[in-house]
Structure 1
Amino acid sequence: MEVYIQLSSGKGPKECDFFLTKVLSIFKREALEKQILVTIVSQEQSEGELIRSAICKLTGHDIDIFLQSWTGSLQWTCTSPFRTFHKRKNWFIALFIVNEKNEVAISEDDILYQMIRSSGPGGQHVNKVSSAVRALHMPTGLMVVAMDTRSQLQNKKLATERLALKIMNMQDLTVKQEKDLQWHNHAEIERGNPIRVFKGIKFKGSL
């Protein structure tokens, strides 16, 4: 079973991005405890290494049951770690399942794959074999590179998924704008009814 989800802080302040970055680690850890693999397909960063939005693929069994305690608005109650005298203490992000109709199916006949070497720091090769994969979608000219794992097969699969995501963003900009609007409406409505609340700088969570 595979399910795609998105974590988003919308247009929230830096504190929301900080919250999302921490929650993503908690989400991955809890998923692993349920033997669910979480693969980050794409992410949008804000300041530094903070994450504003992440699309993840979940693989495993009983994912729908696991997501019942995650899907919706998430709240973090804590004083700002960035603004000492800021009065606000409640920060919100959201997790929602990506609609299947927005997924893009592409034919591998339209993709040109090239195996390349994964390079490490200082130009050192991670492997002597070519494990990284460059994928070119010939009809659109879009290209991605995947070198996340030592497995050429897994990197090829990741490259295909990232290419599909790029095509979706290019072809379906209107839908993306509608999703952004839905997110803003959703955030305003759900602020008083979070599915989970995390407290303090150690992010102690409750359902």
Structure 2
Amino acid sequence: MKTKIIQITSGRGPSECCWVVAQVLKHFLEAIKQNGIDYKILQREKGIENMTLQSVTVQLKAKTLNQFLSQWIGTIQWVGVSKFRPQHKRKNWFVALNEIEQKQHFEINENDISYQATRSSGPGGQHVNKVSSAIRAIHEPTKTQVLVMDSRSQHQNKKIAKTRLQEKVTEIQLQRLKSSIKNQWENHLNIERGNPIQVFKGFDFKKNTIVKTYKKQGNTLKNELREQLNN
């Protein structure tokens, strides 16, 4: 099972780009579901305007992801009139969809877990306390631990402990990843314009045919880039 972390970002673009991020997220999630990919939203950074997002980070899980992401990774363009500034002359807005390098390992190694048998306590009468059936599982690299006494079977408690420890370690790693992502501005500053992987048009956000050559649009895109940085 492959795991990838994807970020959709407006860069430091204006509210129009933040609106585009929110719309792209809807289409991206629809495509994820259609392809049977498991996902989890890790972080949302709200924009200034209502119903807008500066960035959103999504974790994807599937056997294969490269082919699906080849249709999404890159610059995404929306062609339309600003809903926040209708008189604005600009008609092309850009956001980026990037893969974030993962430094965390979300799957724990069995060799990194130590198990300790201990006597159960609490409800269950004297019988439950006669045998050391409870299991304490410790993930040595992170020192995360869980105590399981659900069953009178030590073997069963060990299986449950491993599952719960995996969940706990994963949650800790996700929280660290969220903090890392929140402070990561590299993707925000590197939105390439002029060669979008996807193009959408209008307020209904319909997919548009991508123009194959951008020679005539060079000066226009440069002006738009300066304009976005100024805004």
TM-score past 0.5 threshold: yes
> What is aligned with 1:99?
101
Structure 1 stretches of 5 or more lacking a match?
Answer: 114-151
**Letter in structure 1 aligned against 2:202:** G
Structure 2 stretches of 5 or more lacking a match?
Answer: 109-138, 147-163, 211-231
Q: In 1, Cα distance between the equivalents of 2:181 and 2:76?
A: 26
Q: In 1, Cα distance between the equivalents of 2:16 and 2:196?
A: 17
Q: Does 1:163 align with 2:165?
A: no
Shift of 1:28: 0.4
Shift of 1:168: 3.7
C-alpha change, 1:6 and 1:85, in structure 2 (3 Å) is: same
Among 198, 201, 204, the alignment partner of 2:203 is 201
Shift of 1:61: 2.9
Q: In 2, Cα distance between the equivalents of 1:157 and 1:21?
A: 30
Let me know the Cα RMSD of the aligned residues: 2.9
Shift of 1:191: 0.9
> What is aligned with 1:26?
27
Shift of 1:167: 5.8
**Letter in structure 2 aligned against 1:19:** V
Question: Percent sequence identity over matched residues?
Answer: 32
C-alpha change, 1:154 and 1:75, in structure 2 (3 Å) is: farther
**Letter in structure 2 aligned against 1:165:** L
C-alpha change, 1:157 and 1:74, in structure 2 (3 Å) is: farther
Shift of 1:105: 4.5
C-alpha change, 1:154 and 1:22, in structure 2 (3 Å) is: farther
**Letter in structure 1 aligned against 2:10:** S
Calculate the TM-score normalised by the size of structure 1. 0.66
Shift of 1:154: 9.9
**Letter in structure 2 aligned against 1:104:** Q
Q: Does 1:53 align with 2:55?
A: yes
Shift of 1:50: 1.6
> What is aligned with 2:73?
71
Q: In 1, Cα distance between the equivalents of 2:14 and 2:166?
A: 35
**Letter in structure 1 aligned against 2:16:** E
> What is aligned with 1:142?
none
Q: Tell me if the contact between 1:41 and 1:158 (Cα under 8 Å) persists in the aligned partners.
A: no
**Letter in structure 2 aligned against 1:65:** Q
Calculate the TM-score normalised by the size of structure 2. 0.60
C-alpha change, 1:65 and 1:18, in structure 2 (3 Å) is: same
Aligned length: 158
Q: Does 1:7 align with 2:25?
A: no
Residue by residue over 1:87-129, the C-alpha shift from the partner in whole angstroms, topping out at 9 and shown as x without a partner, is 11100000111123xx23598544478xxxxxxxxxxxxxxxx
> What is aligned with 2:45?
44
Q: In 2, Cα distance between the equivalents of 1:88 and 1:167?
A: 34
**Letter in structure 2 aligned against 1:39:** K
